[in-house]
Amino acid sequence: MTGPFDSVAIIGAGLAGASAAITLRERGFSGRIRLIGAETHLPYERPPLSKDFLGGDLPPERLLVHPEQAYAERDIDLVLGGAAIRLHPAERAVELAGGERVEADRVLLCMGVRPRLAGVPGEWLSGVHYLRDLEHAMALREVIRRGVPVVVVGEGFIGSELASTLAGQGADVTLLMAGDLPMRPALGQEAAHWLLNRHRDSGVRVLARSPLKSINGFDRVESVEVADGTVLPAGAVVVGIGSEPVVDLAAGAGITVDDGVVVDSSSRTSIPEVFAAGDLARFPSRAFARRLRVEHWQNAQNQAANAVEAMLGHADPYDEIPWAWTEQHGNRWEIAGLPMLGTQVVRRGDPDGPDGALWVFSERGRVQGAVAVNRRRELRALLRALAGTVFVDEQAVRDESIDIRLAISSAETAVPAGEA
């Protein structure tokens, strides 16, 4: 089946782009597929860049989403090493940096995000790093090899993972946090506090309420200054203060953007022939009654697959519950839903115990999210439950002898706390 169109251009050859291209063929699309990537590499996995890849000697080939032959076998044209610079929806064409023009009946935007720049004096000095791409990770491997003191700026996912991996490699590492706790919005207060202690136990020097003021040096980084005037020596600085969706191309084509490319539940943008998926797309979540833009692996993979199914006219509305994992100091974390929306938090288990812990976040008795450390199975059950309107029995969550599935109940059978 070719679908109601003959050609698709996928812009952005990362996880979402690769997932879309393969899914298109697997769903029977027989027209032309072009996967256009600004990077010269085949699509690769980013999660290891801050974990095993950075902390080891894994060759880059081991990061590939699919081997090259998977694209060749499916007759997917890889157009790598040249960014798309303009979209001409009326002419159904995409213009590439090298001057080439690609005709396509449908376009899928998968350009992801780019790191937010430090925005302080000295940000352009040599020795200032970011972590998004393979080249960034290669440069950071070199930093580890040189053994210089490293200052990591930012206590989000990337900063916290980096601090963990660098400490694991014996680096002298300082984590500068603007707030009090690492990954606080994602983990909640108590779990984030536990993580803070793991950083400290592992030798990370953690400075709270210490936003970066400037990066100092002559040509190269020599030190950083934090807002209270403290100066720390640094041979390298890694800035992990968040990211920005890559929306330039979409905005230039008149597509609606609002902290991401705005899509409907079919991943369709405000121009019907153009779709978007992955880290850059903001989709309507029925479960949370708001638009979400999710910067996690599972969303990129699944939303892209769903987008091309929608293009072909047979997809369920996309309404995935956010789910992510992280590994730090030998502990595996999983995060489901949106914990930051919960004002009530109940813990099950003990993060220091052999079975780890699970935190359930709710609002007026309704589950909003869950966080698990070293405790896998129960979070999966909650993840499924989060897709519906689910209420939580706090006492039963605390009681480890009760199956977690019995501690939560669907909207049909439960009355939210405070409404009884």
Q: Which two tokens stand for residue 319?
A: 């309404």
Near ligand FAD by CB under 6 A: residue from 267, 306, 326, 328: 326
Q: Is 46 a residue that touches ligand FAD (CB under 6 A)?
A: yes
Give the x/- contact pattern for ligand FAD in 261-300, rule: CB under 6 A.
-----------------xx---------------xxxx-x
CB 132, min distance to ligand FAD, A:
5
Q: How far apart are CA 23 and CA 44, in angstroms?
A: 17
Residues 371-390 that bind ligand FAD (CB under 6 A): none
Q: Which two tokens stand for residue 282?
A: 């903001």
Closest CB to ligand FAD among 232 and 340?
A: 340
Count the residues of the shown chain that bind ligand FAD, applying the rule CB under 6 A.
Answer: 35
Cβ atoms within 10 Å, residue 27: 16
Q: In the chain, what is the straight-line distance between the N-terminal and C-terminal CA atoms, in Å?
A: 54
Q: Is 151 a residue that touches ligand FAD (CB under 6 A)?
A: no
CB 146, min distance to ligand FAD, A:
20
Q: Which two tokens stand for residue 361?
A: 């976040």
Q: Is 320 a residue that touches ligand FAD (CB under 6 A)?
A: no
Give the x/- contact pattern for ligand FAD in 113-132, rule: CB under 6 A.
------------------xx
Closest CB to ligand FAD among 5 and 325?
A: 325
Closest CB to ligand FAD among 295 and 309?
A: 295
CB 66, min distance to ligand FAD, A:
13
Near ligand FAD by CB under 6 A: residue from 64, 95, 213, 325: 325
The beta strand positions in 41-132, using DSSP E, are 76-80, 84-88, 93-96, 101-103, 106-109, 113-115, 128-129
CB 308, min distance to ligand FAD, A:
13
Q: Is 250 a residue that touches ligand FAD (CB under 6 A)?
A: no
The burial of 398, by beta-carbon neighbours within 10 Å (0-12 exposed, 13-18 middle, 19 or more buried), is given as middle
Backbone angles phi, psi at 227, to 5 degrees: -55, -35
Cβ atoms within 10 Å, residue 259: 12
Residue closest to ligand FAD, measured at CB = 14
Beta bridge mates, 9? 34, 107
Q: How far apart are CA 109 and CA 10, in angstroms?
A: 6
Give the x/- contact pattern for ligand FAD in 71-100, rule: CB under 6 A.
------------xx----------------
CB 238, min distance to ligand FAD, A:
11
Q: How far apart are CA 124 and CA 137, in angstroms?
A: 18
Residue with tokens 């100092």: 216
**By C-alpha distance, which of 25, 30, 7, 33 is closest to 104?**
7
Helix (H, G, I), strand (E, B) or coil at 174: strand
Would you tell me which residues interact with ligand FAD (CB under 6 A)?
11-17, 36-39, 46-47, 49-50, 83-84, 110-112, 131-132, 158, 246, 249, 278-279, 295-298, 300, 324-326
